[in-house]
């Protein structure tokens, strides 16, 4: 893989540790250098930390983020400005998001880099609802964006509200104003979105996937899948394409 990066040193070292011998990772000092390199060569991945850019450089980067032919991984710590920029980037293109110190062990980094040409359902669902997430206050964005990454996912909607330091009713009202169906529904969608890759592409059993994705038991996954996308887990890949799966998840997340 040929990878271009615009990240701080600590993040670059983490990336380097996840690469194979035949991979190359080229660090760049700024947006101008990065854009020039992308224009001159074919790359397999561009890794950017939105937090290290000022407003001018962030604006200069947006055409790259909107280019479907350039696979971009957003790799950053989680703070108010970063979350806002992740949501804005997702509204103009499908991007994988990796949170520094949360879901960036070597195996996860490698997996993310290899999947950039075919983003998994969580990233695609977030892109589909990003314009609605943009209508949420910063603290609510800060707890909803990680739902579509690879880190631990809360079991209950009340846990999401506590993490946002917001009353559950207030959080639901904000989501409904933004055009989302609510906290519990968004959590349901985010959890089920994680099922596709291990179940359909990885060939794991529904019981294994249920445990991996935080369901109490495989029956809970089956009930959840039928309710949200209308298909049992055992038949997901046979009945739905990945595009149809994402369509149904995104539709379920939106307020009707």
Over residues 87-109, the pLDDT tens digits come to 999 999 999 999 998 888 888 89
Q: How far apart are CA 189 and CA 197, in angstroms?
A: 15
Q: Which domain holds residue 42?
A: 1-119
The pTM of this model reads 0.92
Q: Which two tokens stand for residue 247?
A: 């369509």
Does residue 213 lie within any of the structural domains?
Answer: yes
- CB count within 10 Å of CB 212 equals 14
The 10s digit of each residue's pLDDT in 123-163 is: 999 999 999 999 999 999 999 999 999 888 998 999 999 99
CATH of the domain at 37: 3.40.50.2300
- Within this chain, do residues 113 and 156 fall inside the same structural domain, yes or no? no
Q: How many domains does the chain have?
A: 2
Does residue 226 lie within any of the structural domains?
Answer: yes
Does residue 141 lie within any of the structural domains?
Answer: no
Q: How far apart are CA 93 and CA 85, in angstroms?
A: 12
The pLDDT score that the predictor gives to residue 214 is 86
The pLDDT score that the predictor gives to residue 40 is 87
- Within this chain, do residues 28 and 110 fall inside the same structural domain, yes or no? yes
Strand ranges, E, within 33-170: 45-48, 72-76, 96-99
- Within this chain, do residues 1 and 115 fall inside the same structural domain, yes or no? yes
- Within this chain, do residues 115 and 157 fall inside the same structural domain, yes or no? no
Q: Is the pLDDT of residue 201 over 80?
A: yes
Does residue 130 lie within any of the structural domains?
Answer: no
Does residue 145 lie within any of the structural domains?
Answer: no
Does residue 124 lie within any of the structural domains?
Answer: no
Q: What does pLDDT average to over the chain?
A: 93
Q: Is the pLDDT of residue 30 over 80?
A: yes
Q: Is the pLDDT of residue 256 over 80?
A: no
- Within this chain, do residues 109 and 53 fall inside the same structural domain, yes or no? yes
């Amino acid at each position: 893989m040929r990878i271009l990066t615009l990240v701080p040193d600590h993040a670059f070292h983490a990336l380097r540790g996840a690469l194979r011998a035949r991979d190359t990772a080229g660090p760049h000092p700024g947006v101008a250098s990065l854009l020039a390199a992308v224009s001159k060569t074919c790359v397999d991945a561009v890794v950017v930390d939105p937090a290290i850019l000022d407003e001018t450089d962030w604006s200069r980067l947006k055409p790259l983020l909107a280019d479907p032919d350039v696979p971009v991984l957003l790799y950053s710590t989680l703070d108010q400005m970063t979350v806002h920029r992740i949501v804005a980037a997702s509204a103009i293109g499908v991007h994988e998001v990796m949170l520094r110190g949360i879901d960036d062990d070597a195996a996860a980094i490698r997996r993310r880099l290899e999947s950039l040409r075919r983003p998994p359902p969580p990233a695609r669902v977030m892109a589909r609802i990003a314009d609605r997430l943009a209508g949420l206050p910063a603290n609510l964005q800060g707890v909803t964006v990680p739902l579509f990454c690879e880190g631990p996912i809360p079991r209950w909607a009340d846990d999401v509200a506590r993490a946002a330091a917001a009353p559950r009713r207030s959080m639901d009202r904000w989501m409904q104003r933004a055009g989302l169906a609510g906290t519990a529904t968004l959590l349901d969608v985010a959890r089920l979105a994680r099922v596709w890759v291990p179940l359909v592409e990885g060939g794991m059993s529904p019981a294994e996937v249920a445990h991996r994705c935080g369901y109490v038991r495989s029956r809970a996954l089956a009930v959840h899948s039928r309710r949200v996308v209308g298909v049992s887990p055992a038949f997901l890949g046979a009945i739905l394409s990945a595009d149809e799966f994402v369509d149904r998840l995104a539709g379920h997340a939106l307020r009707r």
